[in-house]
Amino acid sequence: MCLIFGLPGEPQDIVDRTRLFIEESMPDYVSLSGLDPVPGSEIYNNPEHYSFKYIDTDWGKHAHLLYRFSDEEEVGIPFEYEKTNRWGKTFSRAEIIKNIQEMQHYLRERGMTY
């Protein structure tokens, strides 16, 4: 199963919903990525539509498979949202990172990462 955290419009209980979905689906493993808006993508080309404050263009700060083995990574989530968007309250960069770390910990405990 491949999942992405950090999408615009994620509900505030995304971690709980994702755990429940995983428990109901019972996949063999889960690949959890962080959103990585890249040039040419709809999100990158129209950031204002998704309420991005900025998208970093230092490609050394971009990554998508985050915190699989450690909570100490320094790259990934190269953007920040405005505080709200058309879907409601957004997550800060720090909150997205925390959600990914929490989910990766959950997956590692269950041997569901590769």
Domain ranges of the chain: 2-109
Answer yes or no: is pLDDT of 75 > 90. Answer: no
**pLDDT tens per residue, range 16-34:** 999 999 999 999 999 999 9
Residue 61 pLDDT: 83
Mean pLDDT of 71-94: 89
Residue 109 pLDDT: 93
Cα distance between residue 83 and residue 11, in whole Å: 14
Of 82, 98, 74, 97, nearest in space to 8 by CA: 82
Q: What is the pTM of this model?
A: 0.90
User: Model confidence at 68, in pLDDT bands (50, 70, 90)?
Assistant: confident
- Exposure string of 37-67, with b = 16+ CB inside 10 Å and e = fewer, is beeeeebbeebeebbbeebeeeeeebbbbbb
